[in-house]
Amino acid sequence: EEPMSYGEQMDYQITGIEPGAGVTVTTEEVLSEYSNLTGWELEQSSTAAMMAELREAIDQEEPIVVTGWNPHWMFAEYPDLKYLEDPKGVYGEAEEIRTLARIGLKEEKPGAYKILDQFEWEVEDMEGIMLEAEQTGGDIEELSRQWVHDNQDKSEAWTKGVEEVDGIEVELVTTQWDSELTSTYAVAEVMEGKGYDVTVTPADVSVMYQAVATGDADATVAVWMPTTTKEFYDEHEGDFEDLGANLEGARIGMVVPGYMDIESIEDLEP
Ligand code: PBE
């Protein structure tokens, strides 16, 4: 008897995360672009469920394909994970995380705007906080706020030239993934240090964009571009100010355990 193909073993399912995530939307596009993926489906559930399925598969050395991304702790926890090559480039090349401000923020709250504009850090910074939260069960908000004080060499640059204020309110909108919560709470912490009164609201990607575009929120530091959330970006372009990358070197794609004998999305059999 022929051994079962990976496709058969996985029931032709890619293990994904929440509907409405950028990586979900982009993966649906991958499924329609690659003819070898005809008949495959993206199983959508939650990030926690995907990580649980990944753990289980690795424990049993079974094949699995997940929708993965960096920054994330999965690569530190499972060092032999690999991204599948994407010869059609549907997942894009280098992804970055950008800051968007509402129109008018610069004039109305110049200090808050300046912090947002100056905010930037590295993949390792964000990933370090995420990994610590995962390993210790620590609270992502607390760890992110603590990071600001433990890394003043970096975080002090974000408030350079910013004057203290007395309780001006700032509304930051973000998504609900740990990656974006770390950056948002880190920025909230430095803003509060300058006297701002910051509210953080996690929301779906579409709601996050809408909040900044309508002016309901002042800003977000959680925008994955140029590929992950392109659909939402294009829909609202012109109704926000793009302050550029706050983190470079992010990535999304199909991720598999190293023991799987494939290297490319094209190696998945129809
Ligand atoms: N992510 C993590 C999100 C953004 C942060 C890549 C899962 C997404 O929209 O896909």
Over residues 90-146, the pLDDT tens digits come to 999 889 999 999 999 999 999 999 999 999 999 999 999 999 999 999 999 999 999
Q: β-strands 66-70, 241-256: how paired?
A: antiparallel
Binning pLDDT at 50, 70 and 90, where does residue 33 land?
very high
Does an H or E element contain 179, and which? helix 178-193
18 in any annotated domain: yes
State the distance from the centre of ligand 1 to the C-alpha of 168, rounded, in angstroms. Answer: 30
Calculate the dihedral angle through the C-alpha atoms of 162, 167, 169, 171, rounding to the nearest 10 degrees. 70
Residues 210 and 140 in one domain: yes
For residue 194, count other CB atoms closer than 10 A to its CB: 17
State the distance from the centre of ligand 1 to the C-alpha of 165, rounded, in angstroms. Answer: 33
Residues 179 and 207 in one domain: yes
CATH number for the domain that contains residue 223 = 3.10.105.10
199 in any annotated domain: yes
211 in any annotated domain: yes
pTM of the predicted structure, to 2 decimals: 0.94
CATH number for the domain that contains residue 46 = 3.40.190.100
Q: β-strands 197-202, 169-174: how paired?
A: parallel
Residues 106 and 77 in one domain: no
The ligand 1 atom at the shortest distance from the C-alpha of residue 25 is 10
Residue 179, ligand 1, Cβ within 6 A: yes
Quote the percentage of the chain above a pLDDT of 90: 97
Residues 119 and 244 in one domain: yes
Q: Tell me which residue of 215, 252, 247 sits closest to 230, measured CA to CA.
A: 252
| Total of domains in the chain | 2
Q: What is the pLDDT of residue 83?
A: 97
Res. 1: pLDDT tops 70? no
Residues 131 and 257 in one domain: no
Residues 82 and 101 in one domain: no
State the distance from the centre of ligand 1 to the C-alpha of 19, rounded, in angstroms. Answer: 11
Residues 118 and 230 in one domain: yes
State the distance from the centre of ligand 1 to the C-alpha of 161, rounded, in angstroms. Answer: 32
Residues 216 and 104 in one domain: yes
Task: Classify burial at 259, counting beta carbons within 10 Å of its beta carbon; exposed 0-12, middle 13-18, buried 19 or more.
Answer: exposed
CB-side exposure of 13: number of CA atoms within 13 Å? 12
1 in any annotated domain: no
Residues 101 and 50 in one domain: no
Mutate to test the pocket of ligand 1, among 14, 15, 17, 230 (most ligand atoms within 8 A of CB): 17
Residues 101 and 140 in one domain: yes
139 in any annotated domain: yes
Q: Check whether the bond before 226 is cis (ω within 30° of 0).
A: yes
Residues 198 and 180 in one domain: yes
Q: List the domain range (segments joined by +) for residue 48.
A: 6-90+252-267
Structure tokens at 89: 């480039």
Residues 119 and 52 in one domain: no
